[in-house]
Amino acid sequence: MKVALIADTFPPLRTSGAVQLRDLAREFARQGHELTVLLPDADLDRPWTLENFDGAQVLRLRSPRTKDISYIRRTIGEWLMPRAMWRNLRRSPLAGQCWDGIVWYSPSIFHGPLVRALKRQSGCKGYLIIRDIFPEWAVDLGVLRPGPVYRFLKWIARQQYDVADIIGVQTPGNLGYFEQWREARKGRSLEVLQNWLDAPASARCPIRIEETPLAGRKIMVYAGNMGIAQGMDILLDLADRMQVRDDIGFLFVGRGRDAKRLREMARARGLDNVLFRDEIDPDEIPDLYAQCDVGIVALDPRHKSHNIPGKFLTYMQNGLPVLANVNAGNDLAPLIERENVGEVCENNSVDELEQRCLALIKRIDADPKLPDRCFHLFQRQFSVLQTVEQVVSSLRAK
């Protein structure tokens, strides 16, 4: 198939979304499809650039800035983004290109106008890969209040839903939210599209735990974004409780709006069992995890939707059992319990999280098959090969 993939994140960015889309692009190419990735780029000094990427082509289109700016500027930039991308696409060598299918990745929720224009030009179906339900989660976490801004963003989200022929959500628990959408028009399809990862390259990680104050301890690692959606304060509470154990250390690697605050909080509380490091290249993750014993997952307890974070996949891929603190009812909890790949807390209680942490530490020593179960779960449910096959099958379906 000739497929267009629209997103707002891609390498050289290092976010989990960029890694997922990198892996998706590589697998489309490996399976013999002609893939074009369409990306906004605020740093271009000309309307477009076209480059090759591991068998796919990447068309970067000049557009307003939407990253690392205020919420108001970001909203305006994202509103203008698909219009700027369409305008500059029409100046590019791919202006008249027709595709057999349009795939787009949300977040962002603002791609609807561009997708509509491309579908009209190509006469093809569109597949929306939705990884979080926005703006609902922002209201749940108190980032937004019900009001004019929420209603505007809700209208934008509905626009992208309306242009989709297939929506792939990341867990069964999110299917119910889109049931009315599916029933509203004949021919729409709704399905679970699991998160995915490809086998990473293995590069040496600059973080060497044996050279840090955590040397010799069992390392509990958190690698990824540190923001409001993660609710990570309880992890420092746990580290505080664990100071009585000189055999356990906590390593936090990444960036985000809360990263500086969490570092300062750990320093103020004198947590000598905690280490913070900046974001690393995704290809360095396997070498980092080879030095660790447990992967940490954290989701703010105010979430009401379901989420299986990309970091959970990387832990499983590298054989790391997980300690998870998630919102009650999240589909991740029964998955961890059913597959016996870690311990999970659903009530945001530091007392229970401490008990779960200690239980997992004991299990690491007593259960030598634990890493294998993690890896086999990844292979069975989160392979990028299966993801591309599912998306292509859905686009080809009558």
Whether residue 203 lies inside any domain: the answer is no
Q: What is the pLDDT of residue 185?
A: 87
Which tops the pLDDT comparison, 251 or 229?
A: 251
* Distance of alpha carbon 308 from alpha carbon 215, whole angstroms: 30
Q: Where are the beta strands (DSSP E) in the chain?
A: 2-6, 34-41, 48-53, 56-62, 101-106, 125-130, 166-169, 189-192, 218-223, 248-253, 274-277, 294-298, 322-325, 342-345
DSSP 93: T
- Residue 306 above 80 pLDDT? no
Whether residue 97 lies inside any domain: the answer is yes
User: Are the C-beta atoms of residues 348 and 301 closer than 8 Å to each other?
Assistant: yes
Whether residue 314 lies inside any domain: the answer is yes
User: Are the C-beta atoms of residues 207 and 215 closer than 8 Å to each other?
Assistant: no
User: Are the C-beta atoms of residues 266 and 336 closer than 8 Å to each other?
Assistant: no
Same domain? 293 vs 345:
yes
- Token readout for 104 is 């787009």
In this prediction, residues 250-256 reach a mean pLDDT of: 93
User: Are the C-beta atoms of residues 75 and 33 closer than 8 Å to each other?
Assistant: no
Whether residue 204 lies inside any domain: the answer is no
Domain that holds residue 287: 209-380
User: Are the C-beta atoms of residues 271 and 236 closer than 8 Å to each other?
Assistant: yes
Same domain? 334 vs 249:
yes
* Distance of alpha carbon 381 from alpha carbon 376, whole angstroms: 9
Q: What is the pLDDT of residue 196?
A: 94
| CB crowding 167-203: b at 16 or more within 10 Å, else e | bbbbbebbeebbeeebeeeeebebbebbbbbbebeee
Which tops the pLDDT comparison, 105 or 141?
A: 105
* Distance of alpha carbon 154 from alpha carbon 179, whole angstroms: 17
CATH number at residue 146: 3.40.50.2000
**Digit-coded pLDDT (tens) for 226-243:** 987 788 899 999 999 999
- Token readout for 352 is 């229970």
Degrees, nearest 5: CA angle 220-257-149: 130
Overall number of domains in the chain:
2
Whether residue 222 lies inside any domain: the answer is yes
Same domain? 355 vs 391:
no
User: Are the C-beta atoms of residues 276 and 304 closer than 8 Å to each other?
Assistant: no
* Distance of alpha carbon 39 from alpha carbon 7, whole angstroms: 6
**Digit-coded pLDDT (tens) for 10-44:** 999 888 789 899 999 999 999 999 999 999 999 99
Sheet holding 218-223, edge to edge: 274-277, 248-253, 218-223, 294-298, 322-325, 342-345
Same domain? 185 vs 108:
yes
49 burial type by CB count under 10 A (0-12 exposed, 13-18 middle, 19+ buried): middle
User: Are the C-beta atoms of residues 246 and 173 closer than 8 Å to each other?
Assistant: no
Which tops the pLDDT comparison, 11 or 329?
A: 11
Same domain? 276 vs 372:
yes
Whether residue 390 lies inside any domain: the answer is yes
Same domain? 173 vs 98:
yes
Whether residue 365 lies inside any domain: the answer is yes
Same domain? 60 vs 127:
yes
268 burial type by CB count under 10 A (0-12 exposed, 13-18 middle, 19+ buried): exposed
Same domain? 191 vs 295:
no
Whether residue 202 lies inside any domain: the answer is no
DSSP secondary structure string, 133-191? -TTHHHHHTTSS-TTHHHHHHHHHHHHHHHH-SEEEESSGGGTGGGHHHHHHSTT-EEE
- Residue 93 above 90 pLDDT? yes
**Residue 246, amino acid:** D
- Token readout for 306 is 């379901």
In this prediction, residues 176-199 reach a mean pLDDT of: 92
pLDDT tier, 301 (very low <50, low <70, confident <90, very high otherwise):
confident
User: Are the C-beta atoms of residues 184 and 208 closer than 8 Å to each other?
Assistant: no
pLDDT mean across residues, the chain: 93
Same domain? 392 vs 364:
no
Same domain? 357 vs 391:
no
- Residue 305 above 80 pLDDT? no
Residues in contact with 191: Cβ distance below 8 Å, sequence separation at least 6, in sequence order: 166, 167, 168, 169, 390, 394
Same domain? 162 vs 221:
no
Same domain? 218 vs 363:
yes
- Token readout for 237 is 């509470």
What is the pTM (predicted TM-score) of this model? 0.83
In this prediction, residues 157-180 reach a mean pLDDT of: 93
Helices (H), 340-383: 350-366, 370-381
Angle (deg, nearest 10), helices 148-163 and 112-122? 20
